[in-house]
Amino acid sequence: MSQEPLRQINSEQLLVAARQPAVDAMRLHKLYHGKIQTALRCPISNLNELAIWYTPGVAAPCKAIAANPQMVYDYTHKWNTVAIVSDGSRVLGLGNIGAKAGLPVMEGKAMLYKYLGGVDAWPIMLDSKDPDKIVETVLNIQPGFGGINLEDIAQPKCFRILELLRQRAEIPTWHDDQQGTATVVLAGLINAVKIVGKKLSEVRIVFVGCGAANVACTRLLFAFGVTPQLCIVVDSKGILNKNRTDIKERRDEFVDKWKLCQITNIEQRCGGIASAMQNADVAIAFSKPEPDTIQFEWVKTMAPDAIVFACANPTPEIWPWSAKQAGAAIVATGRSDFPNQVNNSLVFPGIFRGTLDVRAQTITDEMCWVAANVLADLAAQRGINPEYILPTMDQWEVFPQMAAAVAVKAVSQGLAQIPLTYEQEYQQALEIIHNSREMTKLLVEAGLVPKEPNVEESKKNF
């Protein structure tokens, strides 16, 4: 058999495997009716205790909080609770599918918060696309939460919403598609360039897509040391440059895009993705979730030892095996079923664990940098290679270490109300995350969360 037919057979087998999670998701989401539920934190051994947890006893902590509002963190769940807020206008790579259709994603986010970070998170789906109403709603619900995670909100309004909430909210507000994505990309890139023997300040990066994720990536990477003039950004209409009058005419709306037109693309290239990728060292893609968004031939024109981060979900812009065959030395995607998952799920549980525990006022770029360094360092300790540039989500020791590093950075920046040391936060985070994972394990062992039934039997029910 010739080599080419063998490649074709392997590719077909890989495609079948890549599509299997979607098949399983349809079956199991219906079987379990969702992924999260509430659980009690306090013990109840007899009905008399209800007088403590509810009326008349509950009036005492209520009066204490009324006298000193900060006591709400001591007497309620607020210290450990995050609202995941979305209007469903930019869900994964699915686009504007609406609040109801976006709920399974936000449930999954809440599940990861709990299992990986020990954080009690809850989806808040908003039936409004109006940025002012979204800001108003978040400000109105913040008394019941310790933090806000904005999620899957379309640009450019997502930038304005985040900016306004960071100015006006009394609790830390984070847009995971911006800050979380940028943090994990930075971590992956630190190790990827190390493997291929290049310097972060010298690499030529093509950012394929100019939505919330890549705009945030440019901002965090440039601040960390990537050289903007060596980079090129491509949106749906082509390469960003100083002659993009369509952006200039709307520069008050697309502030970040117009800034990128000014500071990137020193050669002032025009054209599309194909032109942008020529001689590039790195391609970072958060764009259209189709495997031909980045084509095989374009990867072949990249510099030697090229790095490709094809991060669209649920389908990457190019299948990883195709990018490898085209000559890429390192390929990453946003999916956990492929090597090198570059996904914000590695970031937000640990960052928010540390942020909540020291009661930080906000989440800064510097806190994101230390989180990225934790990820990169822990992978390096295990031995990085082209198939392993970042820890995987099952390496749960990542999250308490990240929480501790983030907490210490918040303290050093004067943003923390509870000044914990690294060791204090590490031990606290370790215990909280361990307990959360054990709770899930105990519920399954007790049959309160049933184990997945026989596959064939559940398929019949489906």
Judge whether 93 and 312 are in contact, CB under 8 Å: yes
Judge whether 209 and 287 are in contact, CB under 8 Å: yes
Judge whether 188 and 332 are in contact, CB under 8 Å: yes
> Annotated active-site positions, please?
54, 109
Judge whether 342 and 184 are in contact, CB under 8 Å: yes
Q: What are the percentages of helix, strand and coil residues in the chain, rounded to 5? A: 55, 10, 35
Residue 201, SS3 per DSSP: coil
Judge whether 212 and 235 are in contact, CB under 8 Å: no
Rounded distance, CA 419 to CA 409, Å? 10
Q: Which residues contact 135 (CB under 8 A, 6 or more apart)?
A: 161, 164, 165, 168
| Residue 399, H or E segment | helix 398-412
Take residue 253 and report the two structure tokens written for it.
Answer: 């709306």
Which residue, among 347, 215, 394, 213, has the nearest Cα to 289 in the 3D structure? 213
Sign of CA dihedral 331, 231, 94, 146: positive
Take residue 118 and report the two structure tokens written for it.
Answer: 């020990």
Rounded distance, CA 346 to CA 437, Å? 16
Rounded distance, CA 147 to CA 174, Å? 8
Report the number of secondary-structure helices (H) and strands (E) in the chain: 19, 10
